[in-house]
Amino acid sequence: MKIIKFANLLAEAARRKGFRAKAWSIVQGMGYSQDAPYNILYRFEQLGILRICNSNIILTEDGEKFLEKVFYLAKIVKNNTVGYENDTGRVIGNILYALADWSHKMRSSNDLLRYADELIRKIKELEKIDVELYKHYIFLLPRYHYEAFEDPLTLLEILVSSKRKS
């Protein structure tokens, strides 16, 4: 039930920003297992992105800021890859999945906000330096299996490093 409330909250916020997003589509984008959306919800609560009070889910002030970054990244992905034309909810779920801190390195919402800012900054830099690699990364960002492998920033650094070697 909590995950449905969380997804409804996200879908409503996305629609206010002009995205076409359904709650079920957001959940569908949140990872590759049935447990992933629940783990994301729990992790965001631990980090202070949201609070769960009496079965209600409330975004914190930092949660609102974080969601702006999620929407920004979702817009980049939607505008630069195919497959999301009519399903922005799924790409929002994919970005939430990507930023869920699967390695548990972050200790607070501030850590997550700084991480998202750094990722956005490096993506913008990559676009200026190498458009082909930028498009490749933007294609991978919502599709990569972050629970099992690198986080989005490390993935970006690996791609840039491997491009330099070739």
Q: How many CA atoms lie within 13 A of 46 on its CB side?
A: 15
In order along the chain (166 residues), what is the average pLDDT of each group of 10 residues? 92 93 94 92 96 92 97 94 82 95 92 97 95 94 87 91 77
Q: pLDDT value at position 148?
A: 81
Which amino acid makes up residue 13?
Answer: A
Q: pLDDT value at position 58?
A: 95
Q: pLDDT value at position 16?
A: 94
The C-alpha angle with vertex 4 and arms to 151 and 100, in degrees rounded to 5, equals: 10
The C-alpha angle with vertex 93 and arms to 158 and 50, in degrees rounded to 5, equals: 105
Q: pLDDT value at position 166?
A: 66
Q: pLDDT value at position 87?
A: 78
Nearest one of 72, 53, 43, 56 to 6, comparing CA atoms = 56
Compute the distance between CA of residue 63 and CA of residue 68 in angstroms, rounded to an integer.
Answer: 9
Identify the residue whose tokens are 């909590």.
2
Report the domain count for the chain.
Answer: 1
- Which residues form the domain of 67? 2-165
Q: Please, which residues have CB within 8 angstroms of residue 57's CB and are 6 or more apart in sequence?
A: 2, 5, 6, 9, 41, 50, 51
Q: pLDDT value at position 52?
A: 94
Query: To 10 degrees, the CA torsion angle through 42, 43, 48, 52?
Result: -10
Q: pLDDT value at position 84?
A: 73
* pTM strictly above 0.75: yes
